[in-house]
Amino acid sequence: ICLVIIGVAVNFSLLNSDEEDDDENMAILVGRVGWYSFWSDDGHFSSKRDLFLSLLPVVFLFFTSLHLSIAMWRYGTSLSLVVYPSYFNPWCKQFIGTLLLGAGQLFGEGWYTAMSNIGQVSFVLSIILEMNEVDKELVAEADFEDFLDEVEAYGNRICLGGSSVASNRNGKTTTASTMP
């Protein structure tokens, strides 16, 4: 909520300042320049306050997504049911999208608008593509659960002396007659 309030305050120029000349020059550039202009322009931080506050929500999104994308990549590499032979597997898509989001925020006035939009679109597309991997994982988990239910029914048939009906852990009744 705080980041939304900051975004609204900066984009609608609701923050007042004592230094009108310097503030007015940077206020014009808010939303049109990235971190390159913030670090390369001379001046005090007070004159760059609006620019810093306009870039702050994306920095927060970048670091949060970076943490989550690394966790998802580690899950896909070492814990998922669908195994890939390399560390550069489809689970790294969100990490790459996060890096593109961050890179899009680095440009100056000439390139910022296009590169920022490209970074944000690639970030959203990477999340959508990552959801395809999550869907594959859910299907594999459901198949594995069905396999375990069949094994349980077959084991019950063997242990209970040929009984063909068993109840699995979900309370569903399965027949073991389909097992060889």
The overall average pLDDT reported for the chain is 81
Of 71 and 159, more confident = 71
pLDDT of residue 120: 94
Contact predicate 30/12, CB 8 Å:
no
Task: State whether the Cα torsion 126-131-137-143 is positive or negative.
Answer: negative
pLDDT on residue 39: 77
Give 53's pLDDT tier (boundaries 50, 70, 90).
Answer: confident
* pLDDT score for 159: 84
| Cα distances (Å, whole numbers) of residue 21 to 40, 43, 48, 49, 113 | 19, 12, 12, 13, 24
- What's the pLDDT tens digit per position in 18-37? 555 555 555 566 777 888 87
The answer to whether residue 119 scores a pLDDT higher than 70 is yes
* Closest C-alpha among 64, 44, 46, 48 to residue 3: 64
Can you give the pLDDT at residue 179?
47
Instruction: Please give the Cα distance from 40 to 56 (Å, whole number).
Output: 17
Q: What is the pLDDT of residues 78-117, one digit of tens each?
A: 888 888 888 889 999 999 999 999 999 999 888 988 999 9
In the chain, the amino acid numbered 158 is I
